[in-house]
């Protein structure tokens, strides 16, 4: 079973026909030091409405959470999407 990793989290996610689960980054300014970066596990519906979020200061913890909660869903890799109908199936040799 394919999993989200620290190498693929920016372009891969888990999905069902109605939902999508992924990791994103967010930041908060800290006047006393550098901005604080967080990794957010997010669940959205088809209309991109957030249904759940959990914030982590460490990417590895966010990856673990995402895989444990949603790893049984369909894995989607945006860099290597499944073949679809369209121009890629056309014969352009004419």
The dihedrals phi and psi of 83, each to the nearest 5 degrees, come to: -65, 140
Residue 75, domain extent:
1-28+36-80
Residue 6 lies in a domain: yes
Q: What is the pLDDT of residues 62-85, one digit of tens each?
A: 999 999 999 999 999 999 888 755
Quote the tokens at residue 10. 């920016």
Residue 92 lies in a domain: no
Residue 60 lies in a domain: yes
Residue 90 lies in a domain: no
Residue 51 lies in a domain: yes
pTM of the model: 0.80
Closest by CA to 44, choosing from 14, 71, 67, 72, is 14
Quote the tokens at residue 18. 């109605």
Residue 54 exposed, middle or buried by CB count within 10 Å (0-12, 13-18, 19+): middle
pLDDT band at 93 (very low <50, low <70, confident <90, very high): very low
Q: How many domains does the chain have?
A: 1
């Amino acid at each position: 079973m394919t999993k989200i990793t620290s190498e693929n989290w920016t372009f891969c996610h888990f999905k069902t026909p109605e939902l999508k689960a992924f990791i994103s980054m967010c930041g908060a300014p800290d006047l006393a030091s550098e901005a604080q970066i967080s990794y957010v596990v997010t669940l959205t519906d088809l209309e991109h409405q957030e249904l759940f979020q959990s914030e982590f200061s460490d990417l590895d913890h966010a990856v673990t959470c995402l895989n444990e909660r949603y790893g049984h869903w369909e894995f989607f890799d945006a860099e290597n999407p499944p073949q679809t109908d369209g121009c890629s199936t056309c014969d352009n040799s004419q």
